[in-house]
Amino acid sequence: MLESITPWDAIVLHAIHDAFANPTLDAIMAFFTHIGSAGAVWAAIALVLAARKNTRIWGIGMLVTLAAVGVLGEIALKHLVMRPRPPLFDSALATSVVRIPASPSFPSMHAGSSFAGAAFLALVPIGLDVPNDAKVRAAVRAALRVAPFALAAVIAFSRLYFAVHFPTDVAAGIVLGIAVGLAGGFATRAVLERREAS
């Protein structure tokens, strides 16, 4: 099935390159693709949560969630599907700005880990020390909920920008990440509720 989609995926990648590629964006996208490698930025956030007493369980839960999405995507799905990277399909898509991974292309684990982290964080309670104004508080809460998804989206787009993943790889990573992230978040919430009830 993916073989029939691949030529259309490649057309999208060429369109992205033609529309956006320039040295300034190369540097910006390289930064975002770097912090998304192996879920680094999300693991760092999880460690910060784990280091604080009142969010320790959430931090541990997030680390477990990131590990779970890694096992499902990197170890299971990638080696089940074995889809070649875009530059192996079309050499014109090759880039010298970032390293082209040797691992299979489907799904994108930059997208998977990023959206798993963002979806998990959407369930973490936010304690705010802001002026006691309902509108301000609501705006800050909304911003804190949106920011992880915005970061995840930029990281995922960086993989398309450098054509190291096909669009369907990224889409699959997003779906996988959100599913695992929400599952991990709800499981962590259930653990906390049981602890509080006991």
**Enclosing H/E stretch for 16:** helix 2-20
- In order of their start, the domains of the chain are 1-197 (1.10.606.20)
Q: Is 175 exposed, middle or buried (0-12, 13-18, 19+ CB in 10 A)?
A: middle
**What was the pLDDT predicted at 139?**
80
Q: What residues contact 176, with CB distance under 8 A and at least 6 apart?
A: 69, 72, 73, 77, 107, 112, 115, 116
d(CA 45, CA 82): 31
d(CA 49, CA 184): 15
d(CA 146, CA 150): 6
Is the pTM for the entire model greater than 0.85?
yes
d(CA 168, CA 192): 36
* The two three-digit tokens of residue 76, written as one number: 């299971």
Q: Which amino acid is located at 71 in the chain?
A: V
Res. 130: pLDDT tops 60: no
Mean pLDDT (the chain) is 93
pLDDT (tens digit, 9 = 90+) per residue, 75-129? Answer: 999 999 999 999 999 989 998 899 889 999 999 999 999 999 999 999 998 765 5
